[in-house]
Amino acid sequence: MLPENDEIRTALLQSGKQQFLAHGFDRASLRVICRNANVTTGAFYSHFEKKEDLFCSIVEPSVSAFRELFNSAAERNAASLGSVEDELRSITFARNHREECRLLLDCAEGTKYAGFRRWLVEDCFYPRYQAFFDRSAGKPVDPPLVRIILHMKLDEYTDLIYGDYTDEEVRGLIARMSIFSEAGFQALMHLLREEESRSAAPV
Amino acid sequence: MLPENDEIRTALLQSGKQQFLAHGFDRASLRVICRNANVTTGAFYSHFEKKEDLFCSIVEPSVSAFRELFNSAAERNAASLGSVEDELRSITFARNHREECRLLLDCAEGTKYAGFRRWLVEDCFYPRYQAFFDRSAGKPVDPPLVRIILHMKLDEYTDLIYGDYTDEEVRGLIARMSIFSEAGFQALMHLLREEESRSAAPV
Amino acid sequence: MLPENDEIRTALLQSGKQQFLAHGFDRASLRVICRNANVTTGAFYSHFEKKEDLFCSIVEPSVSAFRELFNSAAERNAASLGSVEDELRSITFARNHREECRLLLDCAEGTKYAGFRRWLVEDCFYPRYQAFFDRSAGKPVDPPLVRIILHMKLDEYTDLIYGDYTDEEVRGLIARMSIFSEAGFQALMHLLREEESRSAAPV
Amino acid sequence: MLPENDEIRTALLQSGKQQFLAHGFDRASLRVICRNANVTTGAFYSHFEKKEDLFCSIVEPSVSAFRELFNSAAERNAASLGSVEDELRSITFARNHREECRLLLDCAEGTKYAGFRRWLVEDCFYPRYQAFFDRSAGKPVDPPLVRIILHMKLDEYTDLIYGDYTDEEVRGLIARMSIFSEAGFQALMHLLREEESRSAAPV
DNA sequence: AATGAATGAGGTTTCATTCAT
DNA sequence: TATGAATGAAACCTCATTCAT
């Protein structure tokens, strides 16, 4: 009986997504968003409290979904960083939410999600990375080093998510990149252990 | 005897740099920039032609210096991607121009430097990377793969430039990261050559 | 029930007309126009897209009406320049749109109607005048001469349109001026034919 | 010893003339005028009191010269409207001061010469025209009629002054237009005298 | 006399949000 | 709930004129 409401809401969500992606939150014009959605500016405020509310409504389903995915993955492999399968699963998920990802990472200035990237990296990924590196090296690893490698890894994901690839291509790239990363990682661990033994064996 | 002139100009350059870094070119308010510099908006236009002119004046010295550095580095090692020494030199330079780098890469939308990042990656780095990979592998390497690794490498640089490190720490990080990258690179080359021989040997 | 809408619009149209007439389009201040209409500058843009839009809205009804009138007159007397009746009809029309005429002819710089006078004279009137003179003289008449007389004729119209006359007075003035023009025209034709025959008779 | 002064002044006069002609007094930018004259805005105010002062300085020599010419012509033919020779002399003068004429007639809004056209027509020409018509008709002639014919005459002059003609062409055009005007004038006088006698002879 | 930076008001336009209907 | 005009501040920029040097 009230499907119209949802139609309007949906139209606003779509139009907003498009404008936010195109111009970022701050520079996107609410008027344009409304006009493109065939909605009056007044009506907008029946559906959303303010501009930011629209942004959040666009983005929040993906945020929750992402949180779930991330938590379940975290549970599954508390001891490692995730298999190629896990990587693929995450990236496929992100690829299916490509636009929301961009909104959160690049178009959120002015909203409460402005710090999303930081949260994702520092609070979600970094602690697990640091722990994993420490465990693998058998000693605390220099945090900046961990962070750099984490950033590189995330950058790889970014490429895979936004790049215009087929699923097949993504799978191939992940496979080859895991060769690269694994080799780099092992070399680094080797070096770190060597440093350790050198500094530890004075005799 | 007339240092006031430059004091105002300098104040505007500083205030502008701060605001542009904080909000990006477009969203930075000229009024705020002027107020922070204790300058009327009218007076601004005695020193700069328009808003963009202020941005350019902040950024251009670094751009020229960077171009020189990059060109000389390109000449020096046409055949490789640059030694650790070269990397260190570039990163040290960028670290000394940290803020201007961020302005150019992240805060330039709305100015003629909007495409700077793209130019840097696609026109400066990518061609050399692709050529180097092709040469090393002895065959054309999948461009997306090259691009991903390039992006990762640039991301490493970004970390080193913006991170709050001492020169000593940067040197150490570059050294260890070169172990990582080199090992990853060799593993990848090995794989590629193997793929090659496998697909070439029908028996 | 919602007459306010139109009241504001009307107030803006009036205030705009007055300011445009007084200062021309470019020099008229939107702020003043709005203030005189008791409208905020922001509100202005609910009713008009931009400053020029206000000008056009003031002027366009008259433009269309004028075009129609002119076209129908042109059809009616393809072979002459129009009777006293036609002149009277045109001038009466223009007198009823006096202000819009002035806006179009003298106050339109900066709008898309900037070239209106030129269009009216050169494209509407001049070709018909030249053709009529050529036909009457039986040979091509010096264009500058035609143009001068055309301008004088138009100047007569201008006087009749802007002058503070009753309809009766206008009728009388047209009648007497047609005596003047007709006599002048005949004298000129006579002269031209004489020149012709003199230059044509070698004896 | 002080020729520089005059050089600057001259440069400003030239530059000002050009800008005033191009944009009108109000819209011409003093900055641009100064820049084109290679003069600082400060220096400007050593030579002229304000913007309007520059305009007046450009225009006033011509105004005085014109006044003289007009007065002497007025003395010479108190009883007629001037011979073809007189017309030619006036128009030649105006053609030699073409730009100043345009400044006075079309570009003076915002200066004390804003009413120049009105003054010229109403105070200089009209009284003599009216007197001449009254005298010729032997009775008061309807002022609007006189004014219209005056305006037409002045319009003719305008054409001759601004039109791109050689002296020879101007002479020819004046000659032929005087045929036109004279014939028109005579026809009108005839009519007026007829009207007179008709209304005077009740029998 | 000359400089040219500074003033301060003004220009047009856009904005997110409110509110009477 | 929906409308869309109204708000009022803010955006960048230009102006004629002043004034300390």
Is-contact A173 B146, C-beta < 8 A? Answer: no
Nearest nt to the CA of D5 via C1' is E1
Is-contact D122 D110, C-beta < 8 A? Answer: no
Q: What is the spatial distance, in angstroms and rounded to an integer, between the CA atom of C48 and the C1' atom of E17?
A: 20
Higher-pLDDT residue of A167, B85: A167
Distances (CA, A) of A191 to B183, C175, D37: 11, 110, 72
Question: Quick one: D85 exposed, middle or buried, by C-beta within 10 A (0-12, 13-18, 19+)?
Answer: exposed
Q: For residue D144, give how far its alpha carbon lies from the nearest alpha carbon of chain C (Å).
A: 8
Query: Taking residues B143-170, what's their average pLDDT?
Result: 94
How far is it, in rounded angstroms, from Cα A175 to Cα A91? 13
Residue D13 lies in a domain: no
For residue C195, give its domain range.
59-200
pTM, rounded to two decimals: 0.86
First-to-last CA distance in chain A?
84
Residue B77 lies in a domain: yes
How far is it, in rounded angstroms, from Cα C160 to Cα C178? 13
Contacts of B22 (CB under 8 A, 6+ apart): B28
Residue D175 lies in a domain: yes
**Nearest residue to nucleotide F17 when comparing alpha carbons to its C1'?**
D50
What percent of chain D has pLDDT above 70? Answer: 91
Per-residue tokens: D88: 């030619």
Query: Can you list the alpha helix ranges (DSSP code H) found in chain A?
Result: 3-27, 30-36, 41-47, 51-76, 84-96, 98-106, 116-118, 126-137, 143-162, 167-200
Q: For residue A180, give how far its alpha carbon lies from the nearest alpha carbon of chain B (Å).
A: 4
Distances (CA, A) of A178 to A121, A140, B194, C49: 20, 24, 16, 57
Residue B165 lies in a domain: yes
- Look at A160 and B148 and tell me if their CB atoms are within 8 Å: yes
- Look at D180 and C179 and tell me if their CB atoms are within 8 Å: no
Residue A32 lies in a domain: no
Classify the phi-psi angles of C82: left when phi > 0, otherwise alpha if psi is within -120 to 50, otherwise beta. Answer: left
Tell me how many domains chain D contains. Answer: 1
How far is it, in rounded angstroms, from Cα A43 to Cα A4? 12
For each of chain D's 203 residues, which pLDDT tens digit applies?
444 568 889 999 999 999 999 999 988 999 999 999 999 999 999 999 999 999 999 999 999 988 888 777 767 766 666 677 888 888 999 999 999 999 999 999 889 999 999 998 998 889 989 999 999 998 999 999 999 999 999 999 999 999 999 999 999 999 999 999 999 999 999 998 887 777 665 54
Cβ of residue C159 lies below 7 Å from strand E = no
Closest Cα partner for D12 from D47, D42, D59?
D47
For the stretch A17-39, pLDDT in tens is 999 999 999 889 999 999 999 99
Question: Quick one: A118 exposed, middle or buried, by C-beta within 10 A (0-12, 13-18, 19+)?
Answer: exposed
Encoded amino acid at C163, one letter: G
Secondary structure letter of residue D163 according to DSSP: S
Q: What is the spatial distance, in angstroms and rounded to an integer, between the CA atom of B28 and the C1' atom of E2?
A: 37
User: What is the per-residue pLDDT for B88?
Assistant: 87
**Cβ atoms within 10 Å of D81's Cβ, excluding its own:** 19
Question: Quick one: A184 exposed, middle or buried, by C-beta within 10 A (0-12, 13-18, 19+)?
Answer: buried
Is-contact A96 A161, C-beta < 8 A? Answer: no
Residue D88 lies in a domain: yes
How far is it, in rounded angstroms, from Cα B74 to Cα B94? 16
Best residue of C152, C179, C192, C195 to probe chain D, by most D CBs closer than 10 Å: C152
Which 4-23 residues of chain B approach strand E with CB closer than 7 Å? 4-5, 8
Secondary structure letter of residue C119 according to DSSP: I
Per-residue tokens: D199: 């209304």
First-to-last CA distance in chain C?
86
**Cβ atoms within 10 Å of D108's Cβ, excluding its own:** 23
For each of chain C's 203 residues, which pLDDT tens digit applies?
334 457 889 999 999 999 999 999 999 999 999 999 999 999 999 999 999 999 999 999 999 888 888 777 777 766 666 677 888 888 999 999 999 999 999 999 999 999 999 998 998 889 989 999 999 998 999 999 999 999 999 999 999 999 999 999 999 999 999 999 999 999 999 998 887 777 766 55
Residue of B nearest to A110 (CA): B23
Secondary structure letter of residue B139 according to DSSP: S
**Nearest residue to nucleotide F14 when comparing alpha carbons to its C1'?**
B42
Residue A123 lies in a domain: yes
Cβ of residue A41 lies below 7 Å from strand E = yes
How far is it, in rounded angstroms, from Cα D50 to Cα A149? 68
Residue A137 lies in a domain: yes
Is-contact D180 C187, C-beta < 8 A? Answer: yes
Q: What is the spatial distance, in angstroms and rounded to an integer, between the CA atom of B24 and the C1' atom of F7?
A: 28
